[in-house]
Structure 1
Amino acid sequence: MTANTALLQIHSSQTWKEQLQDAIRTPSALASAVGLTLEQLPYSKDADDSFSLLVPRAFAQRMEKGNAKDPLLRQVLAASGETLKVEGFNDDPVAETSLYADTPGVIRKYHGRALLIATGQCAVNCRYCFRRAYPYTDNVQSSKERLAAIDQLLEDSDIGELILSGGDPLLLTDAKLAAIAERLRQSDRQITLRIHTRLPIVIPDRVTDQLIDALRPKEQPVVVVVHSNHPAEIDNSTAQALSRLRSEGVTVLNQSVMLRGVNDSAEILGQLSDRLFAAGTMPYYIHMLDPVSGSAHFEVLESQARQILGQLAAMRPGYLVPKLAVEVPGASSKREIAPDYFE
């Protein structure tokens, strides 16, 4: 038995909550997990102090040992590039605290749907997160306030979908998720529950019998949009969690962010689509980077992204090619960007 196998067995015996509590929170622990010294990594204490490091061990185990440029490591390491001040990058890149901030905890950008900030906490701190500076303390609601907000939203006959976001909404207890799902089922019209989450990717054990019972997806439409960026994120445990959701009647989609040094390659994106599809998950969107402060070192130019998607379209069938999109503050929908097709 290898050390990695033994470690995997130890953590698979933990509940998802125990795994969250045992997550890596120090740079030295992260360096050790990938078999390197801290001096071998482009770590920045200033970046860490601004946005603290948080990595579940189940996710760190998928990183290539000894590789300081591992694409999974790059997504979570507090790096020196974050300290650069770059024009056009700010703390509110999609104007969520200005254009869409009428009701605390509720964001209404697009017709027919509403988004609730279910929690301000995540299971992993992704360094490119567009809400890394979001004022969660002013916008996260109590359970009572959340249900009251849902009741108010459902009075609007245009609302056909409720989106839970955060933070990560699957950090809510099963009981709180069940209360939300039940509130929607009590409506006199069909309301889709959509959940945006990274948890089935970074801690696959979050997909439990209790979670499925809470959502009861065979009684109402439930869509889970997971977030993975690289094929190495989809190991056997992750694939099993995604397949489990799909087999229980959940529509499972994936969204990615185009990130320099992570997935700015048609070959990598093709492999990601293959692994997702094998696990019952459809590639949905690949977003251009939202220009949040501290993320400029991840930026891929739109012209390059268009070429990459054009190459991917020539390599895979259409259903395995995610839509390339960018969010424009104040627009009525996400703006889809046409690939640069090759003849």
Structure 2
Amino acid sequence: MIPQSTGQVEPLSLIKHIQHSDDWRTQLRNAYRSPAQLLAALDFDKQQILAMTAHDQGFNTLVPHAFVQKMSKQDANDPLLLQVLPQAAEAIAHPDFNTDPLKEASFNPQPGVVHKYKGRALLITAGHCAINCRYCFRRHYPYGEQRRARSEWQQSLNYIQQQTDIEEVILSGGDPLALTDGQLFEIITAIEAIAHVIRLRIHSRLPIVLPARITPDLCKRLANSRLDCVMVVHANHANELDEDVAQACNSLRQHGVLLLNQSVLLAQVNDSLAALKGLSERLFELGILPYYLHLPDHVEGTTHFFVSLERGQHLVAQMQATMSGYLVPKLAREEPGNSSKTVYASH
């Protein structure tokens, strides 16, 4: 369990120490855990903080120092801040927005496993992340019901062993890289023992928000795996991709890990041609291929992030008209009950 911080604003010297700590666990333990603490670090005054922190809607704030360092000071419209700061709009109810928009419970053959797509199975490996994004489609997910003792992991592995059509195992969460090396390596070793599994895919935001997590030991373990390793990172804006992220991604690539990115199209964050072009170009500089641009899921508490399908198609069409095809992600949406993502043509 990650210890809670005091909620007080740390001295600048301590912030710098945390930011440059090589121990990612120290950085995670000292992440900002209240909106007021976060805003104070960005030099908002007391009155501004009071006005901007009256909207906590029950989804805990969690933001690492490394991510906050990329934000502009005193900018309430900073695209990174908007992803993590609670907003009054989270209280807006809408009949089309609910707590399980993808109906994942219907594809949950047993706790900890989501078997929705043919040939692939997803393991919920962790019930926590290094950052709590306000648009998260699993912000209401019952992680407590999915959390099991180590001995019960064998049930999930037995399920994968029995489903011989499963060639790829996807580690998700929460965030699988929020696990310790020992926990993560144990899971990888167990998956490697299943003969019909040939690929391991890790979905993680940590290389972007907490790049210190990409340690030499992690890179070596992935390089030595018999499985083909793919890591799908999650960045929504070019400002997230600083030099520390570049170094982390370079380490993964040097150890044979294929890097892809999936983004979420978010109102006021990246719903412009300039933002999307800047993101794709910066990703490519870092050796990451733009993969999917997801239309936001209809998650309760996220109506203010909504971008229409028509708007998304128009933006992708603009990208296609001005960029090389390999820089243009596929516009997609997860539809409840479908056996694969729905990919949309541009307009």
TM-score interval, smaller chain: over 0.9
* Count of equivalent residues: 336
Q: Which residue of 2 aligns with 1:173?
A: 180
Q: Which residue of 1 aligns with 2:44?
A: 36
Q: Which residue of 2 aligns with 1:141?
A: 148
Q: Which residue of 2 aligns with 1:12?
A: 20
Mapped contact 2:112–2:124 kept (Cα < 8 A) = yes
Write the deviation string for residues 10-46 of structure 1: whole angstroms up to 9, x where unpaired.
Answer: 5212410000000001222111122213543663545
Unaligned segments of structure 1, at least 5 residues = none
AA matched with 1:293: E
Q: Which residue of 1 aligns with 2:280?
A: 273
Write the deviation string for residues 78-115 of structure 1: whole angstroms up to 9, x where unpaired.
Answer: 11110111220000110012x21221111011100001
Counterparts of 1:329-340 in structure 2, within 5 Å, are 329-340=336-347
Mapped contact 2:137–2:299 kept (Cα < 8 A) = yes
Q: CA deviation at 1:156?
A: 1.5
- Secondary structure of the corresponding residue to residue 141 of structure 1: coil
Mapped contact 2:92–2:301 kept (Cα < 8 A) = yes
TM-score, normalised on structure 1? 0.93
Q: Which residue of 2 aligns with 1:105?
A: 112
- Secondary structure of the corresponding residue to residue 107 of structure 2: coil
1:85 partnered with 2:131: no
Write the deviation string for residues 219-266 of structure 1: whole angstroms up to 9, x where unpaired.
Answer: 321111111100000000011111111110011110000000000011
**For 1:276 and 1:143, how far apart are their aligned partners in 2?**
37
Write the deviation string for residues 286-337 of structure 1: whole angstroms up to 9, x where unpaired.
Answer: 1000000000000011111110111111121111100000111001110001
1:191 partnered with 2:198: yes
| Two-structure CA RMSD over aligned residues (Å) | 1.9
**For 2:101 and 2:158, how far apart are their aligned partners in 1?**
29
**For 2:260 and 2:12, how far apart are their aligned partners in 1?**
30
- Secondary structure of the corresponding residue to residue 97 of structure 2: coil
AA matched with 1:104: P
**For 2:291 and 2:155, how far apart are their aligned partners in 1?**
31
Q: CA deviation at 1:148?
A: 3.5
Task: Tell me which moved more, 145-154 or 21-30.
Answer: 145-154
Task: Tell me which moved more, 30-39 or 295-304.
Answer: 30-39
Q: Which residue of 1 aligns with 2:56?
A: 47
Mapped contact 1:288–1:302 kept (Cα < 8 A) = yes
Which aligned segments of 4 or more residues in structure 1 are displaced greater than 4 angstroms? 3-10
Q: CA deviation at 1:210?
A: 1.6
Q: Which residue of 2 aligns with 1:257?
A: 264
**For 1:213 and 1:295, how far apart are their aligned partners in 2?**
38
**For 1:60 and 1:74, how far apart are their aligned partners in 2?**
11
AA matched with 1:23: A
Task: Tell me which moved more, 120-129 or 174-183.
Answer: 174-183
Quickly say closer, same or farther: Cα 1:4–1:317, change in 2 above 3 A: farther
- Secondary structure of the corresponding residue to residue 132 of structure 1: coil
Q: Which residue of 2 aligns with 1:220?
A: 227
AA matched with 2:273: A
Identity %: 45
- Secondary structure of the corresponding residue to residue 71 of structure 1: coil
Q: CA deviation at 1:184?
A: 2.5
Task: Tell me which moved more, 230-239 or 170-179.
Answer: 170-179
Task: Tell me which moved more, 285-294 or 32-41.
Answer: 32-41
AA matched with 1:183: A
AA matched with 1:28: A
Mapped contact 1:177–1:214 kept (Cα < 8 A) = no
